[in-house]
Amino acid sequence: MRKRREWLADTLRNETAGGVLLLAAATTAVVIANSPWSAAYEDLANFEIGPEALHLRLSLQDWAADGLLAVFFFVAGLELKYELVRGSLKHFATAIVPAASALGGMIVPALIFLGINLAMPGGEPGGWGIPLATDIAFALAVLAVFGRTLPLPLRAFLLTLAIVDDLGAILVIAIFYSGSVNLIALLGAAVACALFGFAQKRRITSGVVYVPLALIAWVLMHTAGIHATVAGVILGLLMRVRPDPGEEEAPAERMQHVLHPWSAGVCVPLFAFFAAGVTITGLDVGELVSAPVSLGILVGLVVGKPLGVVGAAWLVTRFSSARLRAPMRMKDVAAIGVLAGIGFTVSLLIAQLAFAPGSDQLAEAKVAILLASVVATALSALALAGRNRHHGPPSG
């Protein structure tokens, strides 16, 4: 039994397995939402559970978005901290191009969405944050399947881009898509996070200390009116990533090893299951796709992402001393840019924050995110296959 558990955990650490589970969960949600069981699906998503006294009487859909995704963003925070201290973001020369590409890949899609929704009747510019996100799990899964022979710098480029993208998305959520801020609760969350970081510096290893502090930080962040996933990123950034003498691995590596299978195998798929279910039966697809919200998301993700990624990379390499790591070329960046148009998980989260539950705009946004992710996946598969042929099989 133990070997089976270890095998399952190792499988879920594989990007391909996580991407397949995510896709399966979303597909299942869409199928059920358009079947005779759609009412039962809605009842399940809206079923409320949790202590009312702590203002945590939430629907299962909200628990998935606020609670389960906090684990996902905690893992993202661990990855970001590692890259900042020991990885590709440690050195300015190697980080500047993918970091700039990430910023370009956020700014251009947001501007496209704003332009379309400000220019068209019935536009909803408040959803500008939806197309700026890249789904790191989905993107890495597609790269693992269709870019097997591509050189390692491409994976590092995508990982750096996606991590910076995630950080940008979290900042956008915290600043623009949170409610009115309860300063006392926010101060309490800050104290809990500070104690968490202090415990790391003191080399405390007991989960009896960290688990209560993490829960307190999460609850207070939620109470403060800031999306609770922000607490996950902050706590991940506070973890120690350098091993002490005598340590085989740092606490951040141990936590990532333990939590990544849960994040990829449970948290993200369950969020997708509750978030992706949208009724498309009887909808006029042409009318829906031409709606300002849908059009802004589709063009933003499928066109704006690669334009922003490539444009920023070109500007940085053209007007500074920064260069792409060999053997990468700008065509490789273009392939990564198309891949970055898969904005599934975080885009769905921002859509839920931007639009009212049950609104036409939310339905339009969900359909557009699903469609854009499918199109971006197909286009990136073709682009990566082309780059595979160019680079050829790995040497050695």
Half-sphere exposure of 165 (CA within 13 A, CB side): 37
| Domain presence at residue 201 | no
Residue 226 CB: number of other CB atoms within 10 A? Answer: 22
| Domain presence at residue 184 | no
The pLDDT of residue 301:
95
pLDDT tens by residue, 169-224:
888 888 888 777 888 999 999 999 999 999 999 999 888 999 999 999 999 998 98
Q: Residue 130's domain is classified under what CATH number?
A: 1.20.1530.10
The pLDDT of residue 264:
83
| Domain presence at residue 241 | yes
> Higher model confidence: residue 6 or residue 294?
294
The beta-strand segments (E) located in 134-293 are none
Half-sphere exposure of 395 (CA within 13 A, CB side): 2
119 has pLDDT over 90: yes
Tell me what the mean pLDDT of segment 134-152 comes to.
Answer: 77
pLDDT band at 385 (very low <50, low <70, confident <90, very high): confident
The pLDDT of residue 292:
94
Q: What's the CA gap between 200 and 77, in Å, rounded?
A: 15
Owner of token pair 């399952």: 8
Domain count along the chain: 1
| Domain presence at residue 205 | no
| Domain presence at residue 308 | yes
The pLDDT of residue 395:
44
Tell me what the mean pLDDT of segment 235-254 comes to.
Answer: 90
| Domain presence at residue 216 | no
pLDDT tens by residue, 290-346:
899 999 999 999 999 999 999 999 999 998 888 887 778 898 999 999 999 998 888
Residue 61 CB: number of other CB atoms within 10 A? Answer: 22
Half-sphere exposure of 47 (CA within 13 A, CB side): 8
- Residue count (the chain): 396
Find, among 103, 98, 162, 148, the residue nearest to 328 by Cα: 98
Q: What's the CA gap between 101 and 311, in Å, rounded?
A: 8
| Domain presence at residue 54 | yes
Residue 268 CB: number of other CB atoms within 10 A? Answer: 28
The pLDDT of residue 2:
55
pLDDT tens by residue, 30-57:
899 889 999 999 999 999 898 887 778 8
Query: Do residues 106 and 293 lie in contact, with contact meaning Cβ atoms separated by under 8 Å?
Result: no
Would you state the structure tokens that stand for residue 178, as one six-digit string?
């949170």
pTM score of the predicted model: 0.81
Q: How far is CA 368 from CA 305, 306, 348, in A?
A: 15, 17, 10
The pLDDT of residue 351:
92
Tell me what the mean pLDDT of segment 372-376 comes to.
Answer: 91
Q: What's the CA gap between 238 and 301, in Å, rounded?
A: 32
Domain range for 360 is 2-178+227-391
The beta-strand segments (E) located in the chain are 48-49, 58-59
The pLDDT of residue 1:
52
Owner of token pair 């993208």: 165
The pLDDT of residue 393:
59
Query: Do residues 354 and 127 lie in contact, with contact meaning Cβ atoms separated by under 8 Å?
Result: yes
Between 1-5, 158-162, 251-255, 319-323, the lowest mean confidence (pLDDT) is in: 1-5
Q: What's the CA gap between 376 and 385, in Å, rounded?
A: 14
pLDDT band at 77 (very low <50, low <70, confident <90, very high): confident
Find, among 259, 232, 115, the residue nearest to 174 by Cα: 232
Q: For all residues of the chain together, what is the average pLDDT?
A: 86
Between 85-94, 362-371, 376-385, the lowest mean confidence (pLDDT) is in: 85-94
Would you state the structure tokens that stand for residue 324, as one six-digit string?
């792409």
| Domain presence at residue 221 | no
Amino acid symbol at 190: A
* Phi-psi map region of 168: left, alpha, beta (phi>0 left; psi -120 to 50 alpha): alpha
